[in-house]
Amino acid sequence: MKKIIYLVLISAFFAACGGADKSPNDTKVKTKSGELSGVLANDIYTYKGIPYAQAERFMPPAVPAPWTGVKEALDYGPACPQLKQSMEGISAKILPGESEDCQTLNVWTPEINGKEKRPVIVWLHGGGYRTGSSFEQPCYDGENLSRKGDMVVVSVTHRLNALGFLNLAEYGEKYAASGNVGLLDIVEALKWVNQNIEKFGGDPDNVTIFGQSGGGGKVTNLVAMPDAVPLFHKAIVESGSLNTSMAPRYSGMIADSVLNRLNISPDNIDEIQNVPYEQLMMAGEAVIPKIKQIAAQEGFVIYQFGWCPTVDGTIIPEQPFDGSAPEISKDIPMIIGTAKNEFNSFYSQAKDTTLESVREVLVQLYGDRADEYIEDFAKAYPEFKPMDLIQQDLIFRTAAVDEGLWKAEQAEEGGAPVYMYMFNWESKNNPLRAFHCLELPFVFYNTDMDTSLVMGPFNVKIDDSEKTQQLAENMSQAWINFARTGDPNVPGKLPEWDPYTPEKGATMMFERDSKVVYHHDKQLMEFMKDFPFAGFD
């Protein structure tokens, strides 16, 4: 009898241990649509190309068709069709092609089919609202972040450009949502997370969305969308404070002009479903500059005009951040930030210059107030070099400060806090300095990867110095801590990171020796209000 009891206990012990073992042959996970198999490597389970939705062209997404058997989730799904970019350095080896059936997501997780619930962080890629995918840059890989943070990382591919944002609402109820289906895809992905992520070891009640550039713009819109807000709990905007979106008047004018160029009338509107993608996009590209000029003459200017979400009063009830933060997301803490040089360094790649030569450029920009600009800049950055005056980003920083300030004002009335940062690290041999996208390998803890894709034509290597690697360690940990608790502080590693408030204006400077400054550029930001950005071309 004792022997039987002993054997039962031993069996129970090994059964319990077996639940924690990671077998490379057992990666099966059951989702609402069917069973998946992935890959287990380096103690992280990876699933790629998981269908989270399906949709006809210009129609809202629906749940994906169920499947029988086990679907292999081993490769990324296709990117949304997009006009080819001229940027060199993009490796075709990682691009699996394009398709209008592009609603897939990817998951990295330390555990499947267990009982532990880990924080979930959902990545939204950049590229404005026109280009990009969840896999276009090697540093988007979520394995290292998942392992380091003991968290579930998800990345999403969705509809873009005309396919995601052509506003045909005036042509019948059928097309009422067409101007925002790109964002509705993301909402559907968040619903998939809510319904399925427990099987992947995630907590559906602790979901953070984060995005950079256009991905940050998507986050900014999602915090203003009633259908989206219940599906996530924290939000991070990286170099993407696209605080306002298209007004229906102008997105409708684009649609009218596109249809005219395609010889499609309201009576045969459904013919647009069959127009080849290239023709559809070329029609849009031809008319958008003209509509943008009309809008500017009427006083409507936004950062990303054209292929952009539409504030339709329903899906997006009002402009996301336009003098105030959305009330519906007042309880969602946020991180908002920028890179020090962003796009400005593309326009001014001089390694060094004189104050006299820079002044000539500043006079063209600010007229007889050029000296005032230099004085305000010197107060913000006392150790500046002349080239900083033309290479420092004042486009995204200005918008980020607005977004952060409105969120901070909401926090003073009982809302969740907001944290502000600036990414200042730069490669010693990089003429682009701390430019747009450079923080991504640090956030994803992927600084050991080939970063040539991140830099476009500039094959910039991230050095393996102790301070650089410590910055990657600390910045990724800040994102991990925020996703876990809503507080990005990393005690003992980073200075105390206070929430951004109208009074203190705390900004974390991520650099080789990180520091926190308080309203350091407040006067400079006030100056820039007299020279508002007219939007990207």
Q: Among all residues, which ones are annotated catalytic?
A: 213, 342, 436
DSSP H helical ranges for 28-142: none
Residues paired with 423 in a beta bridge? 339, 510
CA atoms within 13 A on the CB side of 105: 26
CA torsion, points 109, 110, 115, 121, in degrees to nearest 10? -40
Structure tokens at 417: 């806090």
Can you say how many angstroms the Cα of residue 239 is from the centroid of all Cα atoms in its chain?
9
Output the CA torsion sign for 184, 186, 188, 190: negative
Q: How far apart are CA 167 and CA 243, in angstroms?
A: 19
- Burial (CB < 10 A; 0-12, 13-18, 19+), residue 373, is buried
Structure tokens at 516: 């926190």
Q: How far apart are CA 401 and CA 393, in angstroms?
A: 12
Q: How far apart are CA 492 and CA 102, in angstroms?
A: 43
- Match 């962080």 to its residue by tokens: 121
Q: How far apart are CA 14 and CA 25, in angstroms?
A: 18
